[in-house]
Amino acid sequence: KGLLNFMYSHQSQISHVKWSTAPDEMLHLILPNPRIEMNLSPGMMCRVVDVENALTKRRYYGVPDIDLKIQIIDPIASWNNNGWEIHVSKEYAHVDKCAKPTMQCDVQTFSQIFFGYITPTKAARIGKLKGEEKEVSLMDKMFSPSVTFNNNPF
């Protein structure tokens, strides 16, 4: 609000303001006359480099006991290109390779789910995650949505 007041008090000297902020910013909701243009542009990329390590090092707060089997397709990192059996219990995951996974996605989709950019349900809805609805629902419990934002481009 302080920055908005500053801009308002200098409105005769300002013709245009460019504001870079997180995608969940609600600035436009507090403006009295919000004649603004909003653009969403992805500014960074992320990738899980080691699926097994990422799954075991992460904490799963408030997640019930869950068992999933998922095939990760990764044409670049052969160590990820496997079926994975994931057992979550007491906030930690135990991960082993498995021969008959019941879900499937590429490493890009898995990375987006892992970092909370997209939910497993949304990934399944657009065809990026394949699996039964019950399994997708369990995966939703493991990976909650999160706003991913970095205001320091490099």
Which DSSP string corresponds to 9-70?
HTGGG-S-------TT--HHHH-SS---------------S-HHHHHHHS--TTPPPEEEEE
Confidence of residue 39 (pLDDT cuts 50, 70, 90): confident
What confidence score (pLDDT) does residue 11 get? 86
Tell whether the model's pLDDT for residue 50 goes beyond 70: yes
Query: Which residue would you say has higher pLDDT here, 38 or 128?
Result: 128
Which residues are CB-neighbours of 128 under 8 A, at least 6 positions away?
105, 106, 109, 118
Confidence of residue 42 (pLDDT cuts 50, 70, 90): low
With a pLDDT cut of 90, the percent of the chain lying above it is 62
Query: Which residue would you say has higher pLDDT here, 56 or 19?
Result: 56
* Pairing mode, strands 66-73 and 103-106: parallel
What confidence score (pLDDT) does residue 37 get? 78
Tell whether the model's pLDDT for residue 24 goes beyond 90: no
With a pLDDT cut of 70, the percent of the chain lying above it is 95
What confidence score (pLDDT) does residue 27 get? 78
For 73-113, what is each residue's pLDDT tens digit? Answer: 999 999 999 999 999 999 999 999 999 999 999 999 999 99
